[in-house]
Structure 1
Amino acid sequence: MKIKSIELKNFLVHEYSLINFVDGINIITGQNGSGKSSIIEAICFCLFGKPIYHNKKEDLIRYGQRDFLVKMIMNNNQRDFIIERRSSTFSTNLYGINSPNLLKAYLLKNFNINYRRYISTLLIKQKSIDEFINVNKRIIKEYEGYIKGFDYFKKKNDLEEIEKTISQIEFENNQKIKTKENLEKTLNELKNNKKLLEDVKELYRKLKDIENYEKKYKEIGEELEKDRETFEKYEKYKEIYKKAIETKSAYENFIKIKSELETIEKHKEGYEKYQEYLNCLNDKKTKELEIIVKRGKEIKKLLISEFGNLNECSDYINILNQIKQKKQELLERKQKIIQRIGEIDNQISQNQKILKELENIYGNCPICKRPLDENHRKIVIESAKAEINNLILEKQKAKQELESIDKELLETERKLKFEPTIEEFCTLKEIFEKNKLHWNKWEKEIKNYKIYEEDYKIYSQKVALEKRKVEYENKIKEWNYNYNFQEIISFVEENRKFYENYLSKLNFKKQLEIEINKKNEILLKLENYKNVNFEKIDIEIKQVEKEIERISNEIGKLEGEIKTNEKMINELKIRKEDIKKELNEYEKKKNQKEIYEELNNRLINLITFERKRSYENLKFYVQYYFDKFNLLDYKSIEIEFSE
């Protein structure tokens, strides 16, 4: 932690001073009474809220002034922070530090420094610098041992400081919790007050609205009375409007159908002729021929795709016979080839037998019966091998030819499957030829009757139209009112919007009546709020809202401070437990008597080395630690200090 600057205003001898510190050693020089020690006093007061040389804070105020200001800027290797104090106020920009006790806890936790340690260890008092400079190395070494010996008491001191700080922060936290509870109670009261004001405002608004409703109610009543006659007439016509619409539609359709029937009569002759055609179409012989022709066309299409386009049945039969003949020839060829393959296998076996015999036989040749010499044997073997090779080639060709014949046989078998179809086609054609005259006559009649097909379709609608005509005619006869249906329809359609508006006004009038009936109830409620000034109610609501916002912010701020305090208390308690553990460990090793003996030996040795120069320091340490921990009365130490 580094001090960057300190600003003093009306502090002791300083009217206004701003001191900026640099890194390293800073030396402040000046005449006696110029305010050098006041700067050290200001640093101590800014950190701990307690002076070094003065008993009261009021003694720090410059003569003739009412208050002083000490403002210090420091750096904790992370960022700059400011501590500012007056005689009775404190402020800092450290996050979560909002009270002097929290600042003390922060300094103790993060920098291991408190007020006592500052004035006893970090601060060399005035007129003591010479003593520290002139102490030789042996004394410095003894001092180090001496200070280490007091580590136990230092920790006990830290423990008391922490407990005191925890108590202070807990007390401060309890005060803040009570303050927060009071503020929350006040906040609830303000919210209730705001709701009451808003309720009153709403009642006045409703009362004003009712006055407007009464005026509007009167205007709508006059308008409704003026249009009542037209409305009642519409109500009367509305009941028979649907019937009138149906009658009008029936009448229009009746006229339309009557006209259509007159037009249809022109197609009667064509209808009758086409009916003759339909009767002929239902003739049994004609139907059979129609089926034969349809089937014949299907078969002919199939045969053309397979055998080509042939005119006569005899042509298909001839092709079929040729296929059968070809099949027979292929079967004969196949048999001959199979027979030949068998012969080739026999010849190959014979030649292989001769070759085997020639290898082991001596004397006469088994083929020509001539004497067998080596030359003749060689000729016969080569001749037999050549014969075998020729026979193998011939066998391979025979097998290839056999495969080709099998493919052709499959194709002939496929085509021969059409024989029943060809027979059916020939039968159908024979029947058709016998009835050809009847069919030709029928086809001619079809062409003649086709021109009446449209007449037939149109005239066929006559029966249905006549039936609908009768239905519409009956509906027209049902209309027995004294009114003209056209007049009713026109009136209702022209005044439909008027009727809807009239109903809307009626409904609105009923709603206004309901709201107007609430007037007495509202006036009765307002009797309870006579003391409320309606003209200033908005101002009062805004004031209450501002107060609610202020208190809410204050509660939020207190909640943050309470959480920060609780966090700080927890951290201090953890440190407290750690120190307790360390002290317990130390106490296990040494009891109070051993501690006293060790201190006594160190003090005697120190006095022996430097009585004069160390007197003030020894006196301070002995008095401080023995008073602090109540170990023994320091006066009982029989040591004489020479001047």
Structure 2
Amino acid sequence: MRLISVDLRNFRSHVNTKLDFSDGVVAIVGENGAGKSSILEAINYALFPMSYRNQEELMRRGSREMAVSLVIEIDGKQYRITRTRREGKPESKLEVKQGDMWRLIQHGSQDVNKSLEELGLRSDVFENTIYIRQGEIASLLNAKPAERKKIVGRILGTEDLEEIYEDLRDVISDIRQRESELEGEIKRVGSLREELERAREDLIKKKEKKKELEKGEKELSIKIEEIKRRIEEEEKRRDLYHKLNAQLEEKKKEKAEKEVKREEINRSIASKNEDLRGVLGQESISELERKARVYEPYLKYWQLIGEIQYINNDIMRLEKEIEEIETAMKKIPELEEERSRIEKELLEAEGELKSMERLEGELKSERNSLIKAENEVNSLKNSIDGILKSIGVEDIFALKKVLLEAIAKVDELNNLISSLEAEKKSKNKEVSGLEEMIEILERGERRCPVCSTELSDERIKEVISEKRSEIDELIVKIEEIEKEITNKREELERIKKKADDMTRLEKDIDFMNRSLEEKISEVEMRREKIKNLELKLREKSEKEKRFDELKRRINELNRSIGELSKHGKTVEELSREKEMRREKLDSYRKNLEVLNNEAEKIAEEIRGIAGISTIEKGLEQELEKAKRRKEEADKLIRDLDELRRRLNEVNLEIEELDKRIIELRKEIEDIGFSEDTYSELKRELENLSREKEKTAREISQLEGEMRIREERVRSLEAEISDLERKEKVLERIRRFLDALHEVRNAFSKDGIQRILRERGKAAIEHYSNRIFRDFSLPYEKLELTEDYGINLIRGNERFSIENLSGGEKIAAAISLRLGIALAKAGKMDFLIMDEPTVHLDDIRRENLMEIVDRLPQLGGRMQLIVVTHLKDFETVADQIIRVRRDRSGNSIAEIAQ
């Protein structure tokens, strides 16, 4: 890691400071209190803000916000960390540079801090080894041994390996738990297979039973249709039966009324005869006989005149009756034809209404079926939505997309693992090659194994050291690759399981979608059918009105025909009656001619007897009285004749009614309708309908049970398939556990950790002694203890750090700090020192500056940030940053040219 730049706004005494750092030694110089250390604090705050309990104290007085932006480089990539604080609310973000652009990779304090830790930036390591605060050079030596050992272990990587070793124990424990769980689950395979077999057998039985029930339902439907047909025939007979019975009762009632009328006429005739006898009593007749000798021709004349008038009246009446009969004979066929036509229409309308009733029943059945189908649609949709919701996708397309992404990720991981395996193999070959070179050189070979150049002893040692460093780097890289391979394989297994689960769920959803489409199609079909039925049934009210109108018209026609046909007479009967009236009319006309001739003769006789030319009405009082009595008698006689004519008509009508009653009884008998038979058919239809409904319910219940059973079969098949897959997973887990044990043993204290500790400790001692010797202290060298403390060697004596003077202790601490930095320059290739010359005398300060000047030669690419108020450091610095205060008390930092 190295620093690229830092940008401060309202941080401590800095209003707006931006600095770009160069490689090598960067000296930040200025008077005490100028704000030099604030720049280092800003760097520390950007990396580890949690190390400051009260961040508000970092903000420039009077400001409401502050910001620090730090750009660093790790493994060739540049990262920008930005920390801001506005009105007490912190914000953090981490960006990576891609070309000339910055791409956001994390946001939020916790996520940014976690990502920086994954990049190798840890607060305790930074505070104790990289960032040497003013007066804290010896802090690492003064730390407790366990803490110091842990910090240096993290720098060397042994602490990480120990954590891996411990984490692997938990991993193995978790996997063993998973192994135990899988074994427990797999034990269920046998019982699940037995249950699957039972479920399949039960499903077959239910299908057979459903088939039988459907066959029975079909037979019941045929029987029901046959019964309905017979009921329709019986209803037609019943309607005709009731219609004829109504006519029969009407005729009986009409006959009873005629008989009552006949009795009334007979009583009237008896009364008129009695009245006539009163008018033509014995005395009146004797007197009229006496007067007849004188007035007989006169009276006879007027009697004939009266008879002629009476006959003329009858002739007019008969002509009128004949005219009425002829009119009736003409209209009755037309009305009967219209009645026949309307009766046909009525039967058609009645049939249509019955069809409408059947359509209503069908509509009710379709609506029930529609509700059932819609419920099934909703149930399927809810099931699909539940599955999709459980896996966090919106629809099947999103599920397919996730599945395709998982499959693509599996391919990508397989390719990546193959690539990592190849890289690991390549690195192992490089390690083998380097070890072979070292072995050659250690055997005494004087020439370079690569270029065959002659090597000095010192150069051989340097080459061996370089190659061992390369091997260490390669081993670390191989370990990183192996760790990444393990992570990727674990990720691969997770994604494979996810893909398998997704595939199974996709199949389930596809099956449910097919069922859903079928049900939706059924719903649409039934809705269309219901729509058509409702459309047809809209005509029902019109047809009912038409039916009532036709019945009303038939009643009107029956009344009209009855009135025209004189209470039910046929055209033939009317024709015979017309002939009878014509014969009677002819008889009246002949009689009238005879009476007219006789009246003329009497008139001649009267004119001869009376000697008058004209016959006048006006005779004696007796004649007038006789005339009145005669007129009264004539009236009674006419009334009697009318009553006798009416009696004759009533007798004829009663006779016709008797005939019609006999005909109606014969027609009713021929219909053969039985109310018991009709009721029995209705009961049979109800029983069959109930039986069919019961069968339909049983079929529906069976279908529901079958769906549940089919779902259970699919679930069991999926579960068994999943357990069979888990059996394979269990086998892989067992092999993986064996491999993990080997890997864990490799990460143990006696494994890679020991190698790293030995090599790391040797490297730190090597670099620390190179620096320590430059301080010209009266010791030959320093050595590291097991916990990375320091002992100084002089001859055969060892001196503990506690026995050293303050200056000697600071020199030893600086040597250790720089030795650690140089030993791990590949990862921690920069160092920060804040006023490092504190507690050092002039000679030690000069020694330190010389060491600083030679750091690039000692450790290769090294960036050292030194904060000091001494201008002596300017002579060894690659970059000088001067810091001062302006008149407002704000810090100004400028890079010296």
TM-score (norm 1): 0.26
Q: Which has the higher strand share?
A: 2
Larger RCO (CA under 8 A, 6+ residues apart): 2
User: How high is the TM-score relative to the length of structure 2?
Assistant: 0.20
